[in-house]
Structure 1
């Protein structure tokens, strides 16, 4: 009841304020708390007015602060408004470089860094903004005596909002999925496989964040659980002859989706790693992404998160012993294929190459989310959330734990929000 009173107060403030910056700051806070869905109509109204202001020539006078412009840019692009990156030209000097005194504005630099992560391919000004902000924020962090501010700054650098998970609500589904998994009995029958129902539920929990999707989250977790089991069968347990028989058994179901799979994909990867015959990096990635996508020419909102997932998984799998796929062996990675194809390439260079590919794929995903497409806003948001959750699911430490996932679950399930 107390929360509802505070929600009403927030709606009243957003409805009557004439200060666009104040409204944007409030939207930013609501999103970071994960309660913005309570104020959907109010937020859309504020952002619509702000976009009209930008289209009417806002931010072109040079009178607006870096903080104002960068926050507006990020919130608008994040909501699907294709605001041009040229709004940042006013913060450059005659030589085309960002004005050095901006580096003293830590708050402005933080929102500039956040905004730069919504770049699409070809937006050099946002790449330059990212480099400029990151360089000076790192330098500022070394000089700060305020430890709280230093911690906030460090978290911004490590976890830019656009590529990070917002706080979500939906923990009740964990109980439902846990009951289903326990009753299914696979954990007892397949003791070699991972038994991680909470981790599996986290995928739909953080991708399907709308409270209306409670049932969908539970149902979506079921195939994810089976995917993890099949992944373990292929990667760390089954012998090649058994995997061929297993694949043939699946084919006898004659599902339409299975018929659309490339023939080579079904057993070729297992044969490759059984014989230590690694493919070229490009061929490996094509096979791997199709393993996720199921069909060729699938829209970017699906294929780009799939690519990010595959590359992140391989980036961590390349650290032998750090991946959950190393329970009983190692099944190779894009990093291995790239190093073999480029003789003399170090692990560090190969990893930097993969990190660059992930960054470029994010730019393509950003463009896809801003372009007209046949999908609903909820689907687009879910697609972005898939890409956001990937680092959380694949950042292993030396003990094969997932500290980012553990930290997120603790925050989500055990820490209350103070309003």
Structure 2
């Protein structure tokens, strides 16, 4: 197969000159194909995890006696990357909170607890009203300055504002909280400052679950009030999942190495590790190992096709697709599709602008730099703002 594709590419290159993008080698610099198919260390982790899992489950069930403690504990499980162990229990508790408890409370809580309750419920699909934030506004309809020094509450408000469904009050919350957090970060301890800056860079629920869990485990460990059992469980489970992912990466790396397409097609990205990283970002849980392997293979093949498209401006199967109802709908360029394309294009160009410049390729960031005469950092900041606007469909 590699020889046939190489021959086709060679013929096409002789017919017409194209600005090929020769990507640098993968930054990982190691051969993941040599990773073992089985790691005996995993069995040890599994046994330890199962013992602690029952203890953490008991802690979760006992926390439902108090609404605030219950929501805080569920939030901890999510941020430590271990909530997938207790999906049924969490769903049952949140369902009870939303359908029973909320009807009987007057939201007489502080900023932190209200915003945490709002965010956790929204992230799990419950349509709690954003009117809960009105109590923190003054007579002029602006967020009350009295809450400005509540670091914990302001950070929680900022994170909660990103589960907006295009609601004005949450847009106002971002505008109110962000400059405060930037200022508070400079006045806080290095431990808290890093946590705040991480949130400013990327709200945790928008990041890759494994990366966000790793960062929060470090943060939680330095908290004086941390629960030792919960922390130990999070660490063991993280390491267990990491070992499983390494096994899977070895599988897909051997598959890619055996295909040997990168050698015959020098313009193709050799990015099997990055492809697996994306797959793990979609579904990191151990039960989805086969899904990750198959998705990684699809991503790598699609990258190959995409790089070929970029190099050789190709349309495949258009005649077959032209009569399909869904394709006709796509041709109308509805708002959903338009926003998704714009969002995806900007994100792609931001990565390209930051990491690898494509010779002969037009990037939105470079265009912004040339048109407005600003630095790349400023261009990145403006592209990020555009992404925020188009990320809310």
**Partner SS state of residue 363, structure 1:** coil
Report what 1:151 is aligned to.
Answer: 194
Of 279, 282, 293, 1:207 maps to 282
Are the equivalent residues in 1 in contact too, given 2:330–2:337 (CA < 8 A)? no
CA drift of 1:325 comes to 5.2
CA drift of 1:69 comes to 0.7
Question: CA, structure 1 residues 90+142, in 2 after alignment: closer, same or farther (shift >3 Å)?
Answer: same
Report what 1:8 is aligned to.
Answer: 54
| Structure 2 stretches lacking a partner, 5+ long | 1-46, 212-240
Report what 1:324 is aligned to.
Answer: 356
Report what 1:103 is aligned to.
Answer: 148
CA drift of 1:334 comes to 3.9
Are the equivalent residues in 1 in contact too, given 2:71–2:116 (CA < 8 A)? yes
In structure 2, distance between residues paired with 1:297 and 1:11 = 50
Report what 1:392 is aligned to.
Answer: none
Are the equivalent residues in 1 in contact too, given 2:115–2:160 (CA < 8 A)? yes
Are the equivalent residues in 1 in contact too, given 2:154–2:177 (CA < 8 A)? yes
Are the equivalent residues in 2 in contact too, given 1:205–1:217 (CA < 8 A)? yes
CA drift of 1:174 comes to 0.8
- The two structures have a TM-score, normalised by structure 1, of 0.66
The answer to whether structure 1 residue 311 and structure 2 residue 346 are counterparts is yes
CA drift of 1:354 comes to 3.6
- The two structures have a TM-score, normalised by structure 2, of 0.70
The answer to whether structure 1 residue 360 and structure 2 residue 389 are counterparts is yes
Report what 1:31 is aligned to.
Answer: 78
Report what 2:87 is aligned to.
Answer: 40
The answer to whether structure 1 residue 224 and structure 2 residue 299 are counterparts is yes
Q: CA RMSD in A?
A: 3.3
**Partner SS state of residue 140, structure 2:** coil
In structure 2, distance between residues paired with 1:55 and 1:300 = 35
Question: CA, structure 1 residues 94+316, in 2 after alignment: closer, same or farther (shift >3 Å)?
Answer: same
CA drift of 1:73 comes to 0.7
- Between the two structures, name the one with larger relative contact order (CA 8 Å, sep ≥ 6): 2
CA drift of 1:337 comes to 6.7
Spell out, residue by residue over 1:319-338, the C-alpha distance to the aligned partner (whole angstroms, 9 max, x if none).
Answer: 4xx44351xx1311345677
| Structure 1 stretches lacking a partner, 5+ long | 263-289, 365-419
**Partner SS state of residue 80, structure 1:** coil
Are the equivalent residues in 2 in contact too, given 1:257–1:294 (CA < 8 A)? no
CA drift of 1:64 comes to 0.6
Of 92, 108, 118, 2:163 maps to 118
Matches within 5 A, 1:20-99: 20-53=67-100, 55-56=102-103, 58=105, 60-61=106-107, 63-99=108-144
Q: How many residues get paired? A: 312
In structure 1, distance between residues paired with 2:320 and 2:302 = 18
Question: CA, structure 1 residues 138+352, in 2 after alignment: closer, same or farther (shift >3 Å)?
Answer: closer
In structure 1, distance between residues paired with 2:137 and 2:123 = 24
Are the equivalent residues in 2 in contact too, given 1:335–1:347 (CA < 8 A)? no
Report what 2:223 is aligned to.
Answer: none
Spell out, residue by residue over 1:76-113, the C-alpha distance to the aligned partner (whole angstroms, 9 max, x if none).
Answer: 11111111111100111111121212122111111111
